Chain A
Amino acid sequence: EAQVTQNPRYLITVTGKKLTVTCSQNMNHEYMSWYRQDPGLGLRQIYYSMNVEVTDKGDVPEGYKVSRKEKRNFPLILESPSPNQTSLYFCASRGDRGESYEQYFGPGTRLTVT
């Protein structure tokens, strides 16, 4: 089954404690990205990757890091989480132009930073 997986689904942590949210896709997609969802703001892109070892900032990159060492994985790293990073996070992937730009989303990770 084609899918994007994220772990963990829920995470409660404290300010300053480094954490990683994993993302993996099994569709051999080149393009992967991270979004955060906040009430009244919709989803906003944090980082994206066009291929292995190629990453770039989205609209709200501050406080986040990513890496793309393998095509299937795109982890999101919070080196020193703060309460304003409490949010719902989605990983997404997309194939090439032939797939009409449809993005496949993971199930989401609810992060709470206290």
Chain B
Amino acid sequence: AQTVTQSQPEMSVQEAETVTLSCTYDTSESDYYLFWYKQPPSRQMILVIRQEAYKQQNATENRFSVNFQKAAKSFSLKISDSQLGDAAMYFCAYSSFQGAQKLVFGQGTRLTINP
């Protein structure tokens, strides 16, 4: 079974600086998707960025980018120019290509932005 681990329960960063959230996963599959979701205080789950495992190029969405290391099974999220609105819980998630394609989530990292 696949597992996802986020080893940083909490992180904090100064506004306008850069922060990296870590995520590792375990799988025997070669094709899969990886995601980062943001959960603000409203509790809504918001997709931040996704990465297809067959793509070597790291995904980027504006100030958000990932460092995908397939061999190391690592998928970190970098937030550049942090803003107060980035404060939230962030979840890393894995989805298989096959079968029911459920999302397997990590434990979450709570990110605080200091003004």
Contacts and interface: CB of A to CB of B under 8 A. Distances in A.
Interface string B101-112: 111011110000
Majority secondary structure of chain A interface residues (helix, strand, loop or mixed): strand
Contact of B103 (A41, A100, A103): A103
B105 A100 contact: no
Interface size class of A (residues with CB under 8 A): 20 to 34
Nearest to A49: B100
A110 B93 CA distance: 22
Given A42-B107, A43-B105, A101 B33 contact: yes
B16 interface: no
Contacts, number: 53
Nearest to A103: B103
A63 B42 CA distance: 27
B52 interface: yes
- Which of A33, A45, A56, A105 has the most chain B CB atoms closer than 10 A to its own CB? A105
Interface centre among B33, B95, B102, B106 (most CB of A within 10 A): B102
A90 B37 CA distance: 14
Given A101-B33, A101-B95, A102-B50, A45 B103 contact: yes
Interface residues of B, number: 22
A58 B33 contact: no
Instruction: Give the interface SS of chain B, mostly helix, strand, loop or mixed.
Output: loop
Contacts of A98: none
Contacts of B6: 42
Nearest to B1: A59
A27 to B, nearest CB: 14
20 contacts: A31-B100, A35-B103, A40-B107, A42-B4, A42-B6, A42-B107, A42-B108, A48-B100, A50-B100, A58-B102, A88-B43, A100-B50, A100-B52, A101-B50, A101-B95, A101-B101, A102-B47, A102-B50, A107-B42, A108-B45
The 3 closest A-B pairs by CB, nearest first: A42-B105, A105-B45, A43-B105
Given A35-B105, A56-B100, 13 more contacts: A31-B101, A35-B103, A40-B9, A40-B107, A42-B91, A48-B100, A50-B100, A90-B45, A100-B50, A101-B33, A101-B95, A101-B101, A103-B47
